[in-house]
Structure 1
Amino acid sequence: MKDATGLFVVVLTVLMGRVGGIQPNNGYCIGNQCFTVFEDPSDFTTAQHQCREKNGHLMTVRSSVSNDILPLLLGNLTGRYWIGLHRPTGCPKNGAALRGYKWVTNDSESDFFNWENFNSSCSSPRCVSVSEEDGFKWTQVPCGEQTNGFLCEHSLTNPCKSLVLAPGESVTYRTPMGFEGEDLLSLPQGSTAIKMPSETKYVCFSEQWLKAPWTCEILEGGCEHKCALDSNNDPTCYCEQGLTVNPANKVTCEVATDDPCLQLNCQHVCYQIGGSHSCTCNEGYKLAPDGKSCVDFNDCKDERQCPGENFKCINTLGGFQCVCEDGFKPRGGLCVDVNECESAPCEHECHNWPGTYNCSCSEGYKVDPESPDKCKLHCPDVECPAVCDHNNKYQCYCPDGYISEERADHTFCIDIDECSSYQCEQGCENTFGSFVCSCKPGYTLVDQVNCKEVEDYEFSSTAPGTFAPTPFVPNPEPTRRPSGVTVGGLVGIIVCTVFFIVLVVFLAHHFLRSRGKMESAGALKASEGEAHGLHHVTSDMS
């Protein structure tokens, strides 16, 4: 048998090439070329794109041989179909070989010409189609017009020739391009063939037909039911219980007249060794101790499974996968580092490392612990210059836990002493931009600021009045510096002050008024005494 790895790569490639998209209605292969027809209404550009997706191009009809293939492809179809002939620019040239037109392969070489009523004006249509109704002649059609479909051409590498058949035998071919046929003269690699009436299967690989069962990784080795490796590591077909492999073709299953595997009750596969039967498992599994059950074989235990730097092995059910480590991507058979910084994940600065990256912040900022790709203002001291808008010097910003203060030449951020506003129920320690609450022994911190008595607390030798350390607490009100006096107390002080001032003014006024009255009364009495001539007289009793 040919190299199974090479077969796997070739067949997997052609199978992946035909996954998805529209499927051809018909096809034909000869020599190193295959031709397919797609009954799908399309304009010229769309048809050209569809052929490229199928690893081909629009069909070139350069010879009478390729022209004879058109009836085989379109014999049962009506309507117009694009071929790969068009005029990219300019006007038609009657003297030129293709009259100014070119094949989509960008050349003008052709041994065959088959124009239908050629229009030589500059306004003539630039694209060409064929149809069974016009005898497959080349007809000029506007490129933007939708035809009934298009014809594709595919080049083959190391194709297989058709199988030699014995009298009474027939064969059906299935190509990776998605069409079947019985009279194909050449087959692309990955094509399968089934000979009848023996139902023998083959697969085309590197110009040779390999008889089934081939490697189990490709289409179950051609087996009707299951393919697994036998004790000699050769691919072997197996059937369900009650059925046995046909000894002639070794791939199909037929009813067993006396099947000893029924009694074994194998979970996966029952096979014969000499005169006895035993259980085995599908690839990627191993036989359990009971001799009939199958368990997944952890291929990743073998460190040799995924060699190479930055690769890792992922165990899957029945197999494994080699993938790149986190932070790496596959390229050219290697795992190369992904430069995460190219997608600008960081708000300020990004530093790429093998398999990862990290973010850093500009001066005056620090990484936000809740979002490592973001930056927040940071001041490591009691006060720091504020960050102000270059276009508006009065629009300034301070870190959380700081309050702005305008000075003559700049605005500064001043740390708020949250402890002065009694933020904590018991102990409080002010920090730059925040504060930390703590509790006395016998209490535990709840809600980051309150203290709750611990039930059944046993006091230790800790000195009275000490506080237990507590985690960092974010500042609840970072926008202003709290006052040490409550609003009610401040109102009381103001009222008392006003009352005291009023009382002093009233007493002063009353005192001055009373003194004025007393002086007025004394003057009046003196004047009255002088008016009546009253004098103080002393009597001499002697």
Structure 2
Amino acid sequence: MEEVLRLYVVVLVFLMGRDGRMEPNNGYCLENQCYTVFQDPSDFTTAGNQCRDRGGHLMTVRSTVSHDILFILLGNVTGRFWIGLHLPTGCPDATSELKGFQWVTKDSESDFSNWAPSFNSSCSSHRCISVSQQSEFKWIQEPCSEQAAGFLCEHSFTDPCKSLAITEGTSFTYKTPLGFGGDDVLSLPPGSIAIQMPAQNKYVCDSGQWLQGPWSCEILQGGCDYKCTVNPKQVPSCYCQPGLTVNLINKVTCELATEDPCLALRCEYACYHNEESYACMCDRGFKLAEDGRSCIDIDDCTDKRQCPEKNWMCVNTLGSFACVCKDGYQMSGSQCIDEDECMSAPCEHMCINTPGSYKCSCYSGYKVDPESPSKCVLYCGKQECAAECDPNDDEVCYCPDGYISDERDDGMVCIDIDECGGNYCDQQCKNTFGSYVCTCRPGYTLVGQWKCVKDETHTDGELGGSTTPCIPITTVLPHPDPTRPTPSMTVGALVGIIVFTVFFILLVVFLVYYIFNHRGKMKSSGALKSVGYESHGLEQVASDAH
């Protein structure tokens, strides 16, 4: 199992390095090194980065053997190609083997040098080295920013595989994970694939040995032409599209089926050859249902060995699973670290970070809202407390729920309301700070926080029944901002209102009396004047009679 995992990692690294990138134009492997050539115009820095992204570095030519490899790779190619030799700092040293230059591996070890006769030892000389077939691969100084025709990369590895022995009538072709292949090779890196013709048997290089396909399905589909899965015996097995069947000899290629024995089975996923018969099987992460042909998902997270890392949790997915960070943790590199939730200010007042979570707390005179733990509500906890007033407007004050405000000479205070005076409880009531507690007499059970219901089994004279107190749940409404609380009613204010009302009524009565009295006098005066005039008139008539 460890060998399979190691092989998987090796191949994955190589494939990730090649993903979305161009293939080398040529390559050659010798013992524990492979060399590749890329005909891609690049400056020295870009060329070095390209090799590094592929798990290697620019080629070092330290011996006549590696010098000869240049002829193999570039013998028929024109143009200049970067190698991994440069002058990082300072001036050239004409007395040393490498003239003060250094390999990109940051060393100057070398049993070989091949400087061009035109070498320039001045401090202003060019600092990067290229080679070409035209100059017989002499080391020529070039400006590092200049674009060469391409570059050569070097890759090191351990446990290489030698080429497979050829028998009469057979041959092998090879493909390395570096992107090149051929049939005339001496050494191959782990992860290389060998195909034997004409049988089309497939092999993969692992730890210096060749494993015949199908191998682990997690590595290049096990070498299968179509797809790979694990059969009920936990052995990698290839399967093909409908109408095709797996070659019974090489067990990896698909060929036309003259009579497809799998069609009658109506397998949901795939069919495999089970010794002398055929049977249905499912993809990884699924298991065969009781009907023998359907596939159902396996909950991989039931295996406690999944996601063993600290602060990880397993999440089952269709046919697989995923390792994610637990709630309150976040990914940092390859680890799950505690997330400081307090950085996002989730609490109204104070926040305390805890492993995987956080806790809210409140300032003095407040408590955590039981219905909204991130918020705070006013809290007194005694008979009376100073009211919470707006510092910009001392007339805007607030009291905790269950308290009423009262104005004093030294400011507004909050006084506990005795809810028991409001007959909220069916039987017995006990006032508490900011609330009240309902209880029942023996033989009764408290229902709905206030009502007492007689126990059916209780008889007079028995001591029993529930007297369990219940504190009614009071909803604390958030205070609008700003708003004015209901004004308090003091005794002085009440007397003032009564006096003012009496005075106002008396004033109205007096005005009504005055108006009616004045109108009465005016009518009386008019009547007297009319009588006088009539008397004078009668006298004149009498005078005329004489």
Which bracket does the TM-score occupy, shorter chain normalised?
A: 0.5 to 0.7
Deviation at 1:87, TM superposition (A): 0.8
Q: Is 1:404 equivalent to 2:393 in the alignment?
A: yes
Q: Which amino acid in 1 is paired with 2:200?
A: E
Alignment check: 8 A CA contact 1:279 1:291 kept: yes
Structural mapping, 1:365-384, within 5 Å: 383=386
Deviation at 1:61, TM superposition (A): 0.9
Moved more, 83-92 or 240-249: 240-249
Please name the residue that 1:475 is paired with.
479
Alignment check: 8 A CA contact 1:383 1:414 kept: no
Structural mapping, 1:45-194, within 5 Å: 45-75=45-75, 77-116=77-116, 117-194=118-195
Deviation at 1:321, TM superposition (A): 3.4
Judged with a 3 Å threshold, the aligned counterparts in structure 2 of structure 1 residues 181 and 327 are, in CA distance, closer, same or farther, namely farther
Q: Is 1:415 equivalent to 2:403 in the alignment?
A: no
Alignment check: 8 A CA contact 2:128 2:141 kept: yes
Q: Provide the C-alpha distance between the structure 2 equivalents of 1:418 and 1:369, rounded to a whole number of angstroms.
A: 13
Alignment check: 8 A CA contact 2:386 2:414 kept: no
Deviation at 1:329, TM superposition (A): 5.8
Q: Provide the C-alpha distance between the structure 1 equivalents of 2:267 and 2:248, rounded to a whole number of angstroms.
A: 21
Q: Which amino acid in 1 is paired with 2:108?
A: S
Q: Which amino acid in 2 is paired with 1:213?
A: P
Q: Provide the C-alpha distance between the structure 1 equivalents of 2:367 and 2:142, rounded to a whole number of angstroms.
A: 68
Q: Is 1:211 equivalent to 2:209 in the alignment?
A: no
Please name the residue that 2:409 is paired with.
none
Judged with a 3 Å threshold, the aligned counterparts in structure 2 of structure 1 residues 339 and 313 are, in CA distance, closer, same or farther, namely closer
Alignment check: 8 A CA contact 2:342 2:352 kept: no
Alignment check: 8 A CA contact 1:344 1:350 kept: no
Q: Which amino acid in 2 is paired with 1:125?
A: H
The C-alpha deviation readout for 1:226-247, integer Å capped at 9, x for no partner, is 3233343322222233222223
SS for the counterpart of 2:70 is helix
Judged with a 3 Å threshold, the aligned counterparts in structure 2 of structure 1 residues 83 and 275 are, in CA distance, closer, same or farther, namely closer
Q: Provide the C-alpha distance between the structure 2 equivalents of 1:118 and 1:338, rounded to a whole number of angstroms.
A: 59
The C-alpha deviation readout for 1:224-271, integer Å capped at 9, x for no partner, is 123233343322222233222223322111112222222222222223
Q: Provide the C-alpha distance between the structure 1 equivalents of 2:366 and 2:357, rounded to a whole number of angstroms.
A: 23
Q: Provide the C-alpha distance between the structure 2 equivalents of 1:75 and 1:342, rounded to a whole number of angstroms.
A: 65
Q: Provide the C-alpha distance between the structure 2 equivalents of 1:365 and 1:78, rounded to a whole number of angstroms.
A: 82
Q: Which amino acid in 2 is paired with 1:404?
A: D
Alignment check: 8 A CA contact 1:382 1:414 kept: no
Alignment check: 8 A CA contact 2:14 2:55 kept: no
Judged with a 3 Å threshold, the aligned counterparts in structure 2 of structure 1 residues 351 and 54 are, in CA distance, closer, same or farther, namely farther
Deviation at 1:383, TM superposition (A): 4.5
SS for the counterpart of 2:250 is coil
Alignment check: 8 A CA contact 2:32 2:157 kept: yes
TM-score (norm 1): 0.67
Judged with a 3 Å threshold, the aligned counterparts in structure 2 of structure 1 residues 417 and 225 are, in CA distance, closer, same or farther, namely closer
Please name the residue that 2:259 is paired with.
258
Please name the residue that 1:295 is paired with.
296
Give % identity: 54
The C-alpha deviation readout for 1:183-220, integer Å capped at 9, x for no partner, is 33221111212222221111110001111111222222
Unaligned runs of 5+ in 1: 387-396, 407-412, 420-429, 433-440, 442-460, 463-467, 485-492, 505-542
SS for the counterpart of 1:195 is strand
Structural mapping, 1:143-542, within 5 Å: 143-307=144-308, 310-328=311-329, 337-340=337-340, 350-360=351-361, 383=386, 398=391, 404-405=393-394, 414-415=397-398, 471-476=475-480, 478=482
The C-alpha deviation readout for 1:118-144, integer Å capped at 9, x for no partner, is 111110111112233333221211222
Q: Which amino acid in 2 is paired with 1:138?
A: W
Q: Is 1:26 equivalent to 2:30 in the alignment?
A: no
Aligned residues: 434
Alignment check: 8 A CA contact 2:92 2:123 kept: yes
Q: Provide the C-alpha distance between the structure 2 equivalents of 1:283 and 1:431, rounded to a whole number of angstroms.
A: 69
Judged with a 3 Å threshold, the aligned counterparts in structure 2 of structure 1 residues 416 and 332 are, in CA distance, closer, same or farther, namely closer
Measured on the aligned residues, the alpha-carbon RMSD in Å equals 4.4
Judged with a 3 Å threshold, the aligned counterparts in structure 2 of structure 1 residues 244 and 342 are, in CA distance, closer, same or farther, namely same
Judged with a 3 Å threshold, the aligned counterparts in structure 2 of structure 1 residues 80 and 370 are, in CA distance, closer, same or farther, namely farther
Unaligned runs of 5+ in 2: 403-412, 416-423, 425-449, 452-471, 489-499, 512-546
Judged with a 3 Å threshold, the aligned counterparts in structure 2 of structure 1 residues 368 and 59 are, in CA distance, closer, same or farther, namely farther
The C-alpha deviation readout for 1:378-408, integer Å capped at 9, x for no partner, is 786865788xxxxxxxxxx75xxxx5349xx
Q: Which amino acid in 2 is paired with 1:279?
A: C
Q: Which amino acid in 2 is paired with 1:110?
A: S
Q: Which amino acid in 2 is paired with 1:478?
A: P
Alignment check: 8 A CA contact 2:285 2:298 kept: yes
SS for the counterpart of 1:216 is coil
Judged with a 3 Å threshold, the aligned counterparts in structure 2 of structure 1 residues 211 and 330 are, in CA distance, closer, same or farther, namely farther
Q: Which amino acid in 2 is paired with 1:353?
A: T
SS for the counterpart of 1:267 is coil
The C-alpha deviation readout for 1:2-33, integer Å capped at 9, x for no partner, is 84334334333433344344543332211111
Q: Which amino acid in 1 is paired with 2:159?
A: N
Q: Provide the C-alpha distance between the structure 2 equivalents of 1:470 and 1:93, rounded to a whole number of angstroms.
A: 89
Q: Provide the C-alpha distance between the structure 2 equivalents of 1:342 and 1:34, rounded to a whole number of angstroms.
A: 53
Judged with a 3 Å threshold, the aligned counterparts in structure 2 of structure 1 residues 84 and 384 are, in CA distance, closer, same or farther, namely farther
